[in-house]
Amino acid sequence: MPEIFSDSVSLLHARAQAELDERVAKGRRRELRVAASVRVNFADNDYLGLAQDERVKDAVRAALLNGPVSASSSPLVRGYQDVHAKLEESLREWHGFPSGLVWNSGFAANQAVVGTLAEPDDLIFADRLIHHSLIAGILKSGAKFIRFPHNDLDALAVLLEKNHSPGRTVWVVTESVYSMDGDSPDLARLAELKKHFGFVWMLDEAHALGWYGPQGQGRAAEAGVANEVDILIGTFGKALGGMGAYSLFREPILREMLINQAGEFIYSTYLSPLLAAAATAAISQVRELAPQSASWRALSRRFREELRAQGWETSAGDSPIVPVLIGDDATVVALDDYLRAHDYAVGAIRPPTVPEGSARLRLSLKATTHAKDLRALIETMNEWRKMQGGKL
């Protein structure tokens, strides 16, 4: 019988317990809860209400009757089916890109694209508040990684000038609407910087799709700079009401590289044909709804103005994401509990998802949101604040 030098299982359990205890002490332990029914939902990212749209559901029903539930294999074996090819075609036509690829999730798309296409000798400049999935991809690539202050394009220009090196591949990675602050960079200025410095521009439009653009294609299309974007990332899991993601490329060779080298694509069972059919139908719905977007954005501006008038701290803008800065972790959890008890679902976001001292409510507006529900939400928040002595 071999000598046992240590009980690794017990050590693993003790380490996990210690780490969770530390989170509890800071008020940051995450818990998985079944989503309960609420009267008003400001928590999820179904910005256009398409997750419940009957025409999208009809597309899923038709796909279910005529095909399998699962792709049942890697896309390179047999999982890539006609419904996926048709979805890619719809995406290319919608955005005006010559090439694209569908992914199982936004995380997989971001991690795979930059993680596979960037190399250790490359230099990547990224906004400080980019998604964790993009950071994971950058770290996977091994490229030199420099973060510039959030939306500070003057700082980016200085970094680009200072680090200019002929023959080196330079990337700039940004989002068009940031997921926690709901704000945006100056895309026209970014396009000018790209023309001057010649970097690879990778733009994540996940939270802009449906809400912006002449056909709901996002902020790059609205700003008239989509032709300057080299790699565009989009998702089906937010305004399109489904699941999965996509990447679009100005140069088709990049699609071929990913098909041949990205493990996230090669070694996963592909996106369900039902979800691919849902996404294709949702694109049609987004394009049909796009002319109404001015009214949704106006509602977002008025809501922010009323929050500030009532003494709550929020950012300017017109995106569907409205942050309400609270600051303290325990306080935002208490406010979240109060709102949930009054039939509102909101996002209570704490570090490390957001910087220290910036815990906040994250409110997601919808195309279907009514002004009266926003007024009632503010009234309920005010009632809670009054119970706290009028202070946060």
Q: Which residues are catalytic?
A: 45, 131, 175, 179, 204, 207, 238
Parallel/antiparallel/unpaired status of strands 144-148 and 123-127: parallel
- Please give the full DSSP string across 302-353, using - where no structure is assigned: HHHHHHHHTT-EE----SSEEEEEEE-HHHHHHHHHHHHHTTEE-EEE-TTS
Q: Quote the CA–CA distance of 69 and 60 in Å, as a whole number.
A: 10
Q: Quote the CA–CA distance of 47 and 18 in Å, as a whole number.
A: 39
Peptide bond into 98 cis (omega under 30): no
- Are the beta carbons of 330 and 26 closer than 8 angstroms? no
**Which amino acid, residue 348?**
A
- Are the beta carbons of 347 and 363 closer than 8 angstroms? yes
**Going by C-beta distance under 8 Å and a sequence separation of 6 or more, which residues neighbour residue 247?**
100, 101, 103, 109, 113, 231, 232, 233, 234, 255, 258
Kindly tell me the sign of the dihedral angle through the C-alpha atoms of 292, 374, 354, 310.
Answer: positive
Q: Quote the CA–CA distance of 171 and 205 in Å, as a whole number.
A: 17
